[in-house]
Structure 1
């Protein structure tokens, strides 16, 4: 740390330019975690991102205007499906040597599938970029609205590891008699596998569209 810092200070003295890479040496490395709920750029929806079978998937977990339908889908059989719970980030795999995931994104606004990447920017921003057939590229930044999501029982099973670390005990209180105030708390935390009237999506790895692909 001190060597890196000193090197760039000397470079600044000799050249009169403070290199951007020098700032990176002063910034502690944080593990990037794209899981959790994210507000899209125009604020009309939240996308819940979770790890399912070793890949990142995203699904609509909240809509500003409830009752949305996938009416722009070119597949006639899907035009009437609800957009709530619909998969948007598709089977995104970790990029070697980078805090980035690559896969596909479905854009309900035009009914198109894009090649895409997601890249955490710090802990509260997620940059998403997509292109159609290598061109018509664009992107936007999403803002975090809930903390990262720990692996759920469904995730562990999808990975072929029948572990119950943490997930089972967390869901147990929901099954036992509890004060009515407990439900809002669990909904706000958006714990994997739990559903309520305010969080009808729950663990997105259990959604048929994702579970069928991931398993």
Structure 2
């Protein structure tokens, strides 16, 4: 009897933790057909998503009805647009851009466990469809992009102190640079991660700020 009660307490505690673990939609996600990864991050209070990897590099937004955008690269292109948290639910709603037909749809994203993200899109409230994405990258902390302007004066003030020693320090970054580039983590721009912090992408930064 004691064992049954103890086990019940453990299971209840685990069930209480599950929603917290499942509530973070940020990170890199592989779309259902495996052709791309979408990086989701919180930018100025909203969830945004952008293409962070392509199975076939060099893709272009050729189906966009806007002629001026038909030649833009799909890598780094915003796909989840300004998604807001739904009150009382672990869900975010906004818009999704579908590069396959060049159209925008009303959409929701809902984490289902720690490694799956369910996305649903609808046209004018009907003709709804969706798919499930699989996590391929860890959650991403809130972007520091909004704080960069505030910290700029401090950086400017410390620059003169670092200036006298460039000659001695010059050989060191040359040797270290390749390692740091290949070790780039999701959200950090580098050779292994050409997209970096999606909150700094012009399309997202211009809207979010």
CA contact (8 A) 2:183 2:192 kept: no
CA contact (8 A) 2:47 2:82 kept: yes
Deviates more, 1:153-162 or 1:201-210: 153-162
Residue by residue over 1:152-193, the C-alpha shift from the partner in whole angstroms, topping out at 9 and shown as x without a partner, is 321445999999999999999x99976899767766775466
| Cα 1:39/1:193, change in 2 over 3 Å | closer
In structure 1, the partner of 2:35 is 44
- TM-score under structure 2 length normalisation: 0.76
Unaligned segments of structure 1, at least 5 residues: 1-8
In 2: Cα distance, 1:86 partner to 1:175 partner: 37
Structure scoring higher RCO (CA < 8 A, sep ≥ 6) equals 2
Q: Which has the larger radius of gyration?
A: 2
Larger fraction in helix: 2
1:16 maps to 8
**Alignment RMSD (CA, Å):** 5.5
Are the aligned partners of 1:59 and 1:85 in contact in 2 as well (CA < 8 Å)?
A: yes
Contact 1:158 1:214 survives alignment (8 Å): no
Measure, in 1, the Cα distance between the counterparts of 2:159 and 2:112. 31
Partner of 1:113: 104
What is the Cα deviation at residue 206 of structure 1?
A: 0.5
Kept in 1, the 8 Å contact 2:137–2:186? The answer is no
TM-score (norm 1): 0.74
- Aligned equivalents of 1:78, 1:146: Cα separation in 2: 29
Q: Return structure 1 stretches of 4+ with deviation > 2 angstroms.
A: 9-20, 22-31, 155-172, 174-194
Do the aligned residues in 2 keep the contact of 1:152 with 1:192 (CA within 8 Å)?
no
- After superposition, give the CA deviation of every residue in 1:56-105 in whole Å (9 maximum; x if it has no partner): 00000000000000000011110010000000000000000111000000
Alpha-carbon distance in structure 2 between the residues aligned to 1:179 and 1:41 = 40
Q: Which moved more, 1:23-32 or 1:136-145?
A: 23-32
CA contact (8 A) 2:184 2:192 kept: no
Structure 2 residues without counterparts, runs of 5 or longer: none
* Whole-angstrom CA distance in 2 between matches of 1:116 and 1:154: 26
Deviation at 1:52, TM superposition (A): 0.4
Q: Deviations over 1:99-146 (max 9, x none)?
A: 100000000001110000000011110000000111121000000111
